[in-house]
Chain A
Amino acid sequence: MNPAMIPEGAHPLAATVARLVWLLPLLPLLGFLINGTLAMLGVAKIGPADPSANGGHGHGEVPGHADEHAHDDHGHPPRHKFAKIVSLVGPGVLVAAFALAVAIFAAMRGVEMEHPYLLTLFSWMPVGDLKLDATILLDPLSMTMVMVVTGVGMLIHVFSVGYMQDDPGYPRYFAYLNLFVFFMLLLVLGGSYPLLFVGWEGVGLCSYLLIGFWFSEKANADAGKKAFIMNRIGDFGFLVAMLLMFANFGTLDILGVAEQAAELPMGGVIATTIALFLFLGCTGKSAQIPLYTWLPDAMAGPTPVSALIHAATMVTAGVYLVARASGIFSMAPVAQLTVALVGAATAFFAATIGLKQWDIKKVLAYSTVSQLGYMFVAVGVGAYVAGIFHLVTHAFFKALLFLGSGSVIYVLHAAYHKTHNHDDAQDMRNMGGLRQYMPITFSLMWIATLAIAGIPLFSGFFSKDEILTSVFARISHSTLADASLLGMPGGTVLMIVYGLAVASALMTAIYMARMMLYTFHGPNRTGEGERPHLKEAPWVMTGPLVVLGALTAFGGWLNVPALLGAIGPVGGLEHFLEPVVGEAALRTTLGVAPHLPHSTELMLVGAAIFIAVAGIAFAVWRLKPAALVPRKDAPESTGIDRVLENKYFVDEGYAAAFVNPTVNASRTVLWKGFDAGIIDGLFVNGSALLARAFGWMGSQLQTGQVGTYAWVLLIGVITLLGAFTFR
């Protein structure tokens, strides 16, 4: 296989609509430009206000915190004067992009996609040996991602119209959101690692901008900074990986690197190092241990942002990257085991924290971290299709969950707004019994909950089950089983991974059921005054929810396992992605497709179903929503509850271990010593003194006498002439 040799025009896609693929990222960029201009033209005089502004800080951090900015003016704040145009342009470009993506997808189904379609736009960085072009790489993998990004992105854009249109920063919001989609498309379509990296950094920037969207609250701005810095740590790994690639392969094209990686020795140092550094990048972007703590804090942003960036698309970029670099990872079993183990540990760890969170968005955030861990388990064991499949289904149901929680928060906040109540609109202890007020949201969110828990025939069941089966199948007879991690044989590591994954599946079912019970069931705890104001959110918000609900319910048919061949065509996504990741996946399983005996497979599926049902049943049996009290009356929790509620004190541990020493060292050594002493004292003031001395000397020449100037001039002329004469 030598795809790089195929001339551009010869690809079957070149004759189809796919040659317009460059328009895909351009459309959101256009939207960004328009909305950005409008945002700058119509800078509102009032500060940021928001339907869920008091949300992001979690509970208890700022006791008695009142979101004054939203309540200064108890009438409705005036809408932004460009709100109408923005509501058209913002989602409009996404609709256009999605339509184009669908057309390209249809074209792709019509041709034989043995080789990826490369479209070189322009020469980007011709520097010495490094010749980088801005190349778009269109293959089934990037197509799948494009469909998710534009499709889910479009729905979330539409939802945002309802959620955000009363915000004074409405055009700015859509400008950021469109810019995000642009960078995300750049990330998935980039034909070389540096171009991918541009998208990678760009989505990080947009994430930062949107987390801190209501930047007048310090906590929000801090959350943005935290996300940004944590991501930089990961990006360092990505950068080192790229430098290593260039040093060893002499190229940074994705296809060129994959081609050369195939010639490396199996399990060699080069492949392992590159893969591990790439994975460091992934832990930052996709919130894995040890860099996961930014994602829960990222919930400070508007809820649709949490849905789009911090659940459905950006955070899955790490999974995409591992699948994209499958050529390298499949040559490094040790790195693969690391990925799988870190993924499983993250899944387990985050799920335990999710059990005891009270903030509805925090539950979902930890659930996202946990599910991302699942995806890394899949791509770690070389089951790239399973990982991408879970990525897609997760995008559906997690976007649905976030948008559903967004509806709840929106409605609750609106009710609080009307009654001038300053309670936390995101704390589940303040909710309860919402099913009678919001029946559509209620039923859709139950669909998503069943999906994420893994109840059969919902999308999550298929993808999660495939991951678990893949892990089990590789415990024997694979490169992973032959390798060893830190002295532990690979088979043992995989068994631990499997155990952790099953345990977190159980906890997933429990905490999701808990969230649903506390939010929608039991008595209503909002208070007498608010109750009359509780009603379903407007259609512009519930519409996307319905679409996502359908996708959540039936998304599993994308890739039906052979075991359930009776219900539909088997392995659709598997066949679609085969040209991209098939080779690498086969390498891990020693050249033969993984196969489990029918009975074993049935047993695994049965166990998974049992766990899901058991988890939900346990939650229903043990948790009593009726016993809950509103947040302001709730007692302090103790023991293990307290540990979980405070997320194992990891943030505090990081603060003690890294942040505070860094801050202290910076203050005493770098600031007081180096900056104030040497830089300011010696360099800044010293050079200023020197300049002043020279200036004083020069000023002595300035007599104001033209004659003197003429003399000086003449001396200069004579010197010059002399230099010519006596040359």
Chain B
Amino acid sequence: MQANQFHSLAYAFGFYFFGLLALASAIAFVTRKNTVAAAMWLVNVMFALAALYVMLDAQFIAAMQVLVYTGAIMVVFLFVIMLLNLGHPSELADARGKWGYLLALLVGLAMLAEVMALNRSRTIEKMIPPDLAARAAEAAATPMAGGIIGPVAAPLFKEYLLAFELTSVLLLAAIVGAVVLGKRRTDAR
């Protein structure tokens, strides 16, 4: 009982820690003038989110987050930034003026308020299934088939197999598109 309580306390601490880290890094990310610094802060957000995924029992997704997002996508971003030599803040003001910031903040807050209102008032309670506790207990009692990845893999390769296969087509198309767009045209000019 004691250990359990400590466990939940440690869990809550961890959750809030990584949550606040993500939030702070995100704010830092949007306010940096330097593109490379902004990208590094975004990487930080993603790491924090990966930690949160682990705490939400989505270990596989956490691994993917680190591998795909932080490892691949963000590296490509940095690659492009450096390729285009955008490392320094440009002479032109990157951000809009004070009023632009204010307006954007207002719009963001309005949206946030709306989402929160939606979350609070009706939706969340309605979304929670009535037998949640029983289901959670049952899930804890029965060992997961296929370990951690099993519950993700089963729907991915059964129910959503077609979508999964189509994803490969999408990626292929993206690769072809990227090559075509990125290739320096030899005939023009």
Contacts and interface: CB of A to CB of B under 8 A. Distances in A.
Contact of A718 (B107, B117, B121): B107
9 contacts: A715-B107, A717-B111, A718-B110, A718-B111, A721-B111, A721-B114, A721-B115, A721-B118, A725-B121
A714 B118 contact: no
A533 B48 CA distance: 106
A718 B117 CA distance: 13
Given A711-B107, A725-B114, 6 more contacts: A714-B107, A714-B111, A718-B107, A718-B111, A721-B118, A724-B114
Contacts of A635: none
Indicate the member of B110, B114, B115 with the most A CB atoms within 10 Å. Answer: B114
A607 to B, nearest CB: 89
Nearest to A711: B107
Interface in A705-727: 711, 714-715, 717-718, 721-722, 724-725
Contacts of B117: 725
A647 B7 CA distance: 113
A371 B118 CA distance: 86
Interface string A221-257: 0000000000000000000000000000000000000
Contacts of B115: 721
Contact of B114 (A711, A715, A722): A722
Contacts of A721: 111, 114-115, 118
Interface string A578-619: 000000000000000000000000000000000000000000
A697 B159 CA distance: 48
A605 B115 CA distance: 102
Nearest to B118: A725
Interface in A475-513: none
Contacts of A725: 114, 117-118, 121
Interface in B115-159: 115, 117-118, 121
Indicate the member of A714, A717, A722, A725 with the most B CB atoms within 10 Å. Answer: A725
Contacts of B118: 721, 724-725
Interface in A677-727: 711, 714-715, 717-718, 721-722, 724-725
Nearest to B116: A725
Contacts of A715: 107
Interface residues of A, number: 9
A276 to B, nearest CB: 66
A608 to B, nearest CB: 85
User: What's the dominant secondary structure at chain B's contact region?
Assistant: helix
Contacts of A722: 114
Nearest to B96: A707
A721 to B, nearest CB: 4
Interface string B84-124: 00000000000000000000000100110011011001000
A714 B114 CA distance: 13
A208 to B, nearest CB: 53
Contacts of A724: 114, 118
Contacts of B121: 725
A587 B117 CA distance: 84
A725 B115 CA distance: 8
A207 B121 CA distance: 74
A714 B100 CA distance: 14
A717 B107 CA distance: 10
Nearest to A727: B122
A718 B104 CA distance: 12
Interface in B2-31: none
B92 to A, nearest CB: 14
Nearest to B113: A725
A714 B117 CA distance: 18
A714 B110 CA distance: 11
A725 B110 CA distance: 12
A717 B121 CA distance: 19
B40 to A, nearest CB: 24
Contacts of B107: 711, 714-715, 718
A445 B121 CA distance: 98
Contacts of A711: 107
Nearest to A724: B118
A722 to B, nearest CB: 6
Contacts of B110: 718
A711 B103 CA distance: 10
A679 to B, nearest CB: 47
A724 B107 CA distance: 17
A725 B116 CA distance: 9
A725 B117 CA distance: 7
A718 B115 CA distance: 10
A181 B111 CA distance: 71
Contacts of B111: 714, 717-718, 721
Nearest to B103: A711
Shortest beta-carbon contacts, A-B, top 3: A721-B114, A725-B117, A725-B114
A136 B158 CA distance: 53
Nearest to B114: A721
A711 to B, nearest CB: 8
Contacts of A718: 107, 110-111, 114
A711 B110 CA distance: 13
A725 B121 CA distance: 9
A722 B114 CA distance: 6
B182 to A, nearest CB: 20
Contacts of A717: 111
B95 to A, nearest CB: 11
B104 to A, nearest CB: 9
A724 B117 CA distance: 10
Nearest to B110: A718
A461 B117 CA distance: 98
A559 B49 CA distance: 101
A717 B118 CA distance: 14
Nearest to A715: B107
A715 B110 CA distance: 10
Nearest to B117: A725
Contacts of A714: 107, 111
Nearest to B121: A725
A194 B114 CA distance: 61
A675 to B, nearest CB: 51
A629 to B, nearest CB: 81
Nearest to A723: B114
A724 to B, nearest CB: 6
A721 B110 CA distance: 10
Nearest to A714: B107
B89 to A, nearest CB: 18
B17 to A, nearest CB: 30
A255 B115 CA distance: 69
A721 B109 CA distance: 13
B16 to A, nearest CB: 27
A718 to B, nearest CB: 5
B4 to A, nearest CB: 39
Nearest to A722: B114
Interface in A377-401: none
A539 to B, nearest CB: 68
A715 B118 CA distance: 18
A725 B122 CA distance: 10
A719 to B, nearest CB: 10
B73 to A, nearest CB: 21
A724 B118 CA distance: 8
A722 B117 CA distance: 10
B113 to A, nearest CB: 9
Nearest to A721: B114
A715 B107 CA distance: 8
B165 to A, nearest CB: 31
B48 to A, nearest CB: 26
Interface string B167-181: 000000000000000
Contacts of B114: 718, 721-722, 724-725
A414 to B, nearest CB: 65
A187 to B, nearest CB: 53
B50 to A, nearest CB: 28
A61 to B, nearest CB: 66
